[in-house]
């Protein structure tokens, strides 16, 4: 089959959209669209503050002017989407404060695309949704705004993002891609476009709904597995057992699945189970296991804080006013993203007891930490300045640091993640 001839438009140039647009630009003429003008300016200057795409990779594909030649032209002006005939939507799908699916950004993106949609165009969604959302929520908006009919005049597809932020070993091209379309013919063409750049290969799902469901259960399964080991950590702490030693021993069995306790956050694992739960309720099922895992993982910040308080009580240090340093603030290691960071739950719990908290993270997005949470990240920790240090996020540049030099003479150190080399007085 010959290589498909499309002009591709990627809507949303964040953690998902920019790596995809950059990769596709090696084989296609790509327009990258984002409403954030600062983001567009950064990309045009070959800079990616998310650290997902290197300066060299951007220099290789970014174009100064839009043209039909292979490469990436970025803009915050939607007029450049007009000549596109293969759209890929990569906007966030968060949850509301009540943990209900928030489709507002997806709906706005669909409405915006609808005004540019032409007969024969393709629209593929990568944003995480529950089964049925692409055809039940997005398609009607596209039809209303374009005056065209889906599956007849334009073609829908869904290919769930599988980006792993901060992972330098498994990049987008190395991760097998699920694809799907609204008909066998459209599914084949959509699959062919992705197969052009995904070296790991593609898997063509039999329907859009199957592809949507696969995405939400991938992350819901991981959330539940982490919840299980988090509950083990709570139980074993009451027994005086080292959770990691228990897990290490259990892992000697060939079919034992290795997971570690920790704080669950970010824009995927801590969010996607709510989408699956919401759809379950819509079809008349009350989800129990899915939401039980979410509840337990959401409570781990308070558990960590209580562990630290108990350690301090043993050395007769009480609240309020105790100086505490939280090391790491982003939702995962080697990634600046602070969305839904689990560290904030530790912060809030300690703050409720009157701790004087400092947060140090040389990797996290400082502006986002301040704007989203009101947390001002410090430039450097104080030597012998803290009665308690909580090692939360194991960024590679933090692993070998001797954190003992930052505690007071009687200070304690607690590890949330085992990767830190410093000897700790307690750990999750």
Clarify whether 90 is annotated catalytic.
no
Taking the C-alpha atoms of residue 145 and residue 113, their distance in angstroms, rounded to an integer, is 8
* Candidates 74, 90, 138, 268; catalytic one: 268
Helix axes 243-250, 208-239, angle to 10 degrees: 120
Query: Which among 368, 329, 328, 337 has a CA at the least distance from the CA of 52?
Result: 337
Task: Write the DSSP string, 127-159.
Answer: S---TTHIIIIIHHHHHHHH---BTTTBEEEE-
For 9, half-sphere exposure in the C-beta direction (CA atoms, 13 angstrom radius) is 27
Asked if 130 and 276 touch (Cβ cutoff 8 Å), the reply is yes
Taking the C-alpha atoms of residue 220 and residue 275, their distance in angstroms, rounded to an integer, is 9
Query: Which among 402, 404, 389, 394 has a CA at the least distance from the CA of 346?
Result: 389
Task: Tell me the backbone φ, ψ of residue 218, rounded to 5 degrees.
Answer: -55, -50
Asked if 90 and 10 touch (Cβ cutoff 8 Å), the reply is yes
Task: Write the DSSP string, 56-106.
Answer: HHHHHHB-SS--SSSEEEEES-GGGGTT-SEEEE-----B-TTS-B--HHH
181 token code pair: 């379309």
Task: Write the DSSP string, 259-281.
Answer: -------TTTTTTHHHHHHHHHH
- Give the chain's radius of gyration (CA, Å): 23
Helix (H, G, I), strand (E, B) or coil at 39: helix
Name 326's bridge partners. Answer: 359, 390
**Structure letter (DSSP) for residue 419:** T
**Which residues are the active-site residues?**
268
């Amino acid at each position: 089959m010959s290589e498909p001839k499309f002009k591709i438009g990627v809507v949303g140039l964040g953690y998902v959209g920019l790596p995809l647009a950059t990769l596709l630009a090696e084989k296609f003429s790509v327009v990258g669209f984002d409403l954030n003008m600062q983001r567009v300016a950064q990309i045009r200057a070959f800079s990616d503050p998310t650290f997902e795409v290197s300066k060299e990779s951007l220099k290789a594909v970014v174009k100064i002017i839009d043209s039909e030649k292979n490469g990436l032209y970025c803009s915050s002006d939607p007029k450049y989407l007009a000549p596109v005939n293969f759209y890929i939507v990569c906007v966030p799908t968060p949850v509301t404060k009540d943990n209900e699916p928030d489709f507002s950004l997806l709906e706005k993106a669909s409405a915006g695309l609808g005004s540019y949609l032409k007969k024969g165009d393709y629209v593929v969604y990568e944003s995480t949704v529950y089964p049925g959302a692409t055809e039940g929520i997005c398609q009607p908006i596209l039809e209303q705004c374009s005056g065209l009919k889906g599956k007849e005049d334009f073609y829908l597809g869904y290919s769930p993002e599988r980006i792993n932020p901060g992972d330098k070993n498994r990049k987008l091209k190395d991760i097998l891609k699920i694809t799907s379309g609204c008909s066998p013919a459209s599914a084949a063409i959509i699959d062919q476009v992705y197969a052009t750049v995904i070296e790991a290969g593609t898997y063509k799902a039999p329907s859009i709904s199957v592809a949507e469901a696969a995405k939400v259960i991938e992350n819901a399964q991981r959330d539940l597995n982490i919840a299980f080991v988090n509950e083990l950590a709570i139980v074993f702490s009451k027994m005086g057992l080292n959770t990691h030693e228990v897990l290490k021993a259990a892992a000697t069995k060939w079919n034992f699945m290795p997971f570690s306790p920790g704080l669950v956050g970010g824009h995927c694992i801590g969010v996607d189970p709510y989408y699956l739960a919401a759809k379950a309720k819509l079809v008349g099922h009350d989800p129990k296991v899915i939401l039980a895992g979410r509840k337990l993982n959401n409570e781990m910040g308070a558990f960590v804080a209580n562990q630290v308080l108990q350690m301090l009580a043993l050395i007769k240090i009480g609240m309020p006013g105790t100086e505490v340093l939280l090391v790491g603030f982003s939702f995962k290691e080697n990634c600046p993203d602070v969305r839904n960071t689990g560290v904030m739950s530790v912060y809030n719990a300690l703050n409720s007891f009157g701790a004087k908290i400092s947060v140090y993270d040389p990797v996290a997005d400082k502006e986002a930490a301040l704007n989203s949470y009101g947390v001002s990240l410090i430039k450097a920790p104080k030597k012998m300045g803290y009665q308690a240090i909580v090692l939360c996020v194991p960024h590679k540049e933090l692993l070998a640091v001797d954190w003992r030099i930052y505690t007071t003479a009687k200070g304690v150190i607690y590890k949330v993640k085992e990767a830190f080399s410093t000897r700790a007085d307690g750990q999750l």
